[in-house]
Structure 1
Amino acid sequence: MAAYASILPPALRPGDTVAVVSLSSGGAAALPHRYATGKRQLAETFGLRVIEAPHATRDSDWLRDNPRARAADLHWALENPEVHGIVSAIGGFHALRMLPYLDLDLIAAHPKVFTGYSDTTINHLAFGKAGVGSFYGMAVLSTAAENGGIAEFSAESFRATVMSGEPVGDLAPAAEWTEELLDWSDPELQSRRRRWVPNYGWLWLQGSEPVQGPIMGGCLEVLAQAMGTEIWPALTDFEGAVLHLEISNERPPQLQVQVWLRQFAALGVLERISALLFSRPEAMSLRETLALYDAIRDELVVAGRPDLPFVANLDYGHSSPMGVLPLGRQLLVDPRQRRLSILEPAVR
Structure 2
Amino acid sequence: MMAQKGKVTSALSYIDQGALDKAKEALDLAFSNDKSKDWFNTYFAKGKLAQAVFEADNPKFSSYFADPLAEAYVAYEKAMELDAKGGIKKRIITNMIYNSLALDLYSQGSKQFEEEDFENALKSFETQIKITESDKYAGIIDTGMYYNAGLAAINSKKYNEAINYFEKCAELKYMGITPYYQIYESVLGLGDTVKAEAYLLDLPNKFPGDNTITLQLIDLYLKSGKYDDALKYIKVAKEVDPNNFSLYFATGIMYLNQEKYDEAISELTRSVELKPDLFDSQYGVGAAYINKAADMVKKANDIMDVKEYSTAIDVANAVYAKALPYMERAHELNP
Q: Tell me if TM exceeds 0.5.
A: no
Query: Which structure has more strand as a fraction of its residues?
Result: 1
Query: Which structure has more helix as a fraction of its residues?
Result: 2
Higher-Rg member (1/2):
2
TM range (shorter): under 0.3
User: TM-score, normalization: structure 2?
Assistant: 0.27
User: TM-score, normalization: structure 1?
Assistant: 0.26
